[in-house]
Structure 1
Amino acid sequence: MEEKRVPRWVRGWFWGAAIYNVLWGAWVIFFPGMIFELCGMDLINYPGVWQGVGMIVLVYALGYYYIGKDPERYGNFVWVGLLGKTFGPLGGVMAFTRGEFPLAFAWVFVFNDLIWWPAFWKFALTYARKPLE
């Protein structure tokens, strides 16, 4: 079977995702209460937990950087990113239905997860299907 060549947009898209995750992760780590203030929510009692989320986001940034650097070699990392970009919004829906998050918090899931889905899924289903070597 002929191997599909990864298009140029992939590198830029995943480098963009890496930069976005570095910025978001750093923001959450250094200003853990700001997102809650912007959404009109009470500050959380344990900001270190939210800062831990920021650290996880920074780890994703490293994976996206490597996909952008060499999509053929590191493309399977996209599956880890898709897990986060799927389970994050699912957890958000659960929190919204329980009344734990105001609707103003929905933009977090839109920009952190949902806008990335089309390109991530296209890349994953088209190019990231080889077994890891």
Structure 2
Amino acid sequence: MPRRAPKWMYFVLILAGVYNLAWGAWAVLFPTLSFANSGMRDPDKPLYYPQLWQCIGMIVGVYGVAYILAARDPARHWPVILVGLLGKLFGPVGLAFGVATGQARPEGLITCLTNDLIWWVPFVLILWYAYRESHVSEATHPSP
């Protein structure tokens, strides 16, 4: 039977889940406001971009649900955390590219601090823990 994950992992994933649910709900309910506060240019097509931003908010909120569910057993649910980490890596890379090419304002990078960057270290540590646990499990219970 696998060991119980360190308590801090549970709290980090619950916090990430609650944060993502709150941010996602804000983006869905107030798409124009959240778009502007994220450092984006004013949408050229007001009827199109709010729905796009709401869709992004919905995706972020769904990740929140996944993080909360993964909190119970981070080692077992490592794929959820890996996919979340990839999003938290690629999102800032895409936004940085947008800033570098003049398609996004630098203020948008501030959103990356709370949406992405602060989660890098804990998610990597959780994934490292899951990797180690899988090897401990294989060593104690080798397959036939």
Question: What secondary structure is seen at the aligned counterpart in 2 of 1:73?
Answer: coil
For 1:103, what is the secondary structure of its paired residue?
coil
Letter in 2 for 1:53: I
Corresponding position of 1:48: 51
The residue that corresponds to 1:28 in the other structure is 27
The offset of 1:105, in angstroms, is: 1.1
Counterpart of 2:141 in structure 1 is none
Q: CA deviation at 1:74?
A: 1.8
1:81 aligned onto 2:84: yes
Structure 1 vs Structure 2 CA RMSD: 2.2
Report which stretch shifted further, 108-117 or 32-41. Answer: 32-41
1:16 aligns with 2:9: no
- Contact kept? 1:33, 1:44, Cα under 8 Å: no
Identity of aligned residues (%): 36
Residues 44, 23 of structure 1: alpha-carbon distance in 2 compared, 3 angstrom cutoff: farther
User: How far apart are 1:128 and its partner, in Å?
Assistant: 4.5
Which of 109, 113, 116 aligns to 2:112? It is 109
Rounded to whole Å, the distance in 2 between the matches of 1:108 and 1:95 is 14
TM-score, normalized by length of structure 2? 0.80
Matched length: 130
**From 56, 63, 73, the counterpart of 1:60:** 63
CA distance in 1, matches of 2:58, 2:131: 25
Checking the alignment, whether the CA contact within 8 Å between 1:22 and 1:57 is kept in structure 2 is yes
Q: Is the 8 A contact 1:78 1:128 kept in 2?
A: no
